[in-house]
Every structure is written in structure tokens, then in C-alpha cells.
Amino acid sequence: MLRRTLLAASGSDQVRGLLTGTSATRAMVARYVAGETADDAVRAASELRAAGLLVTLDYLGEDTTDAGRAAAVADEYLALLGKLSAAGLTGGGGVEVSVKLTAVGLLLGDGDAPGGGAVKGGAPNRAASNGAASNGAAPNGAAPNGGAASGGAASGGATVSAGTVSAANGAAPHGSAANGAASGGGLGEKIAAGHAGRIAAAAAAAGTTVTIDAEDHRTTDATLRIAGALRARYPETGSVVQASLRRTETDVRALATPGTRVRLCKGAYNEPVSVAYADRHEIDKSYARCLRILMEGPGYPMIATHDPRLVRIATALGLYRDPASFEYQMLYGIRADEQARLATAGAQVRVYVPYGRDWYGYLVRRLAERPASVGLLARSLVPSIPGRKSR
């Protein structure tokens, strides 16, 4: 019940207003979010790489309903990739990026092309995360020593300058995902595919790759279509699937192909029972089934979970694989000791690192996963509630 309440709060403007201005909230944000700028993200990534961990960076924000904002988000990723390349962090896919398609225009309707109008139908009701560990984690397939793992980063020695990377850098040909959506999509899908293609081209030029995050179940088909179209040109492009969805076992079987990078997370969207499991035990069982399919297949599994039992299952299945052919993924600020333990034992571990100013929804979703933190935050907020007298 508490988890569902918090997930609902992640979309509440009223709760957002209460939380965003407090010092207690800012302290929690510092634990789970690397900072507000690309420079903050690069700094965090550099520290994690020095500790022998892989990294994926997520520029926070989703459900964009403005074409200009969607383009700005894509430009932010291009600038980030330029800075990462200049810092020498992208080689072999050591640091890559995760992209939510609703942040780059997936929800835009016909009236939202440059020049305007309102979104058709508005944004879906969200209550979840970007698909990082516990609900999910992050991507890629490169070993800490810089060598690309199965399905690893693009090669070819292309370089990217610091700052904004031009979309002309490695632009995909007409008819590819960089110029429009895979068949079956509307204007929003075409816009999102175009921006995702720009980001994937810049990532490839920098020597790294992109993982396309999972979101609300209503976006799943479009998300998988776009990731598949990108993969035709950039084979290292990762997909994300959520064990909470009833369809995912079928999707995993289709994605378990040679070299394909697939991040498996639990999922944290407040979905209807018609499409998703509601019971945590059912979600765990679904995760274990999907995990076995991926680990026994020829692809590159990315195991996004903090659940100790599921980590043990993955470790047992991993005994029959090359350690460079899969990775664990966990969130920035959560179970850092376990991340270090796995890496020390020789496993590839990638940390999902979010940054940006749009951190509210992300923070509330982290609280939903860690109820003990809720009481601490609530107690710190009590004096700020209007009309309450301190004792």
C-alpha cells in the first residue's frame, strides 16, 4: 500500500511542491542523483570508473509534451557524450547513456511538431522509474578493462569533440531509425526515433552505445520498435524489459539473439493487472524465468536488480558463461557495497547514474523501494507543514 501511494505521489504537483524546497530532500537527492549538470555526471562517472565499475548515465526527465523540449533533451545527450569522450571515459563502452523515449518526443501528437498545438490525449499517467535496477538498472556490454563485451560498443576510432556533438556526426541513412520510426508509428514515434538516432550516432562516434529505457506499458511496442530499428545500424543498442509485465517472457525470447544487449528489470510502473503482475512474488518468479532465458541464450544479459536472491540466481547461472558476456546493473547510491563485492569477484557491474534538475519523480520512486527512508523524510518535513506548532 505504501509503495503504491508513493508511486502515485511521484506524479503529484502538490506533493512535489511540499518536497522540493526542503533541506532533507536535497540531502536525499545528493545520495541518488549525481548532480544537475553534465559536468556533475562526468565527475561521478570518472569516480566510478576509477573504482572499476561501468556506468550508464540518464538525463532525468520524461513525458515531454513540447517539441522544443524534446530536441533540447537530445542536444543535452550530445553535449554529454562529447564531454565523456573528451574525458576519455567512453572507450569500450565503459560509460554509456540510457534514454527514455518519452523525453525525446514519443508522446507528441500531430499538433506538436515545431509550430505547435497540444498533445493528443496528453501524457500517460506515470508512477514509475526509468527502468534502472530494482525497477531496473542500466546498460552496455564492455569490460572494466576497456575491452568490449559481447555486443559491446561501436568501434572504428571515430572521435567526438567536447561540447555539443553535431547530428551530422554519423547520421543514419534515410529510412533508418535516425530519420523516422520503425513502421507502425505516428508523429511522436517518428520524432523520438529521429532524436534517438542522433544520440546513437554520437554514441557510436564516441566509442560507446545507448540503451533505450522501458516506460509505461502503453509505450512498450513503440519502444521495442525504435530500439530494433536502431539496432539494425548500431548493433550494440540495448533494449529494456520489465519482469512485471505479463508479455515480457515472450519479448525476452524474441530478444535473446546473438550479441543483443537486454536489460532485465522488475519494473516500477503502476500498471493495471490486465497487463502486469501485482504480487511481488509473481514478479520475482517472472524475473527468474526471464533471467534463465537470457542467461541460457546467446545475447548479452544486463541483470538489473538489487534483490539478493535474484543476484544469487544470476551468479549461479553465470557459472556457465564467460564473465565478460553479461553484467549486473544497480542504481547510484544503492547497495554500493554489493556493487564493489561483485566487481572484486570478477563480475562486470554497471551503475545507473541519473543527473539533471527534474529529479522529483525519480527520488519518490527510490523512496518507494526503501520505505525506511520515508519516515526520516516525513519527520524532517513536519515542522514545515503550514499551521503546525512545534513542540
Q: DSSP code of 152?
A: -
φ, ψ dihedrals at 250, nearest 5°: -65, -45
Catalytic residue status for 312:
no
Q: Is 179 exposed, middle or buried (0-12, 13-18, 19+ CB in 10 A)?
A: middle
Residue 165, beta-bridge partner list: none
Any idea what the Cα angle at residue 224 is, between residues 117 and 122, rounded to 5°?
Answer: 25
263, 335, 350, 365: which one is catalytic? 263
Q: How far is CA 194 from CA 171, 176, 182, 201, in A?
A: 10, 9, 10, 11
Cell, residue 183: 513502421
Report the greatest alpha carbon distance in the chain.
Answer: 68
213, 216, 251, 284: which one is catalytic? 213
Task: Tell me which amino acid residue 238 is.
Answer: G
Residue 331, beta-bridge partner list: 352
Residue written as grid cell 523515449 = 101
Question: What whole-number distance in Å separates Cα of residue 187 and Cα of residue 368?
Answer: 34
Catalytic residue status for 263:
yes
Looking at the annotation, which residues are catalytic? 213, 263
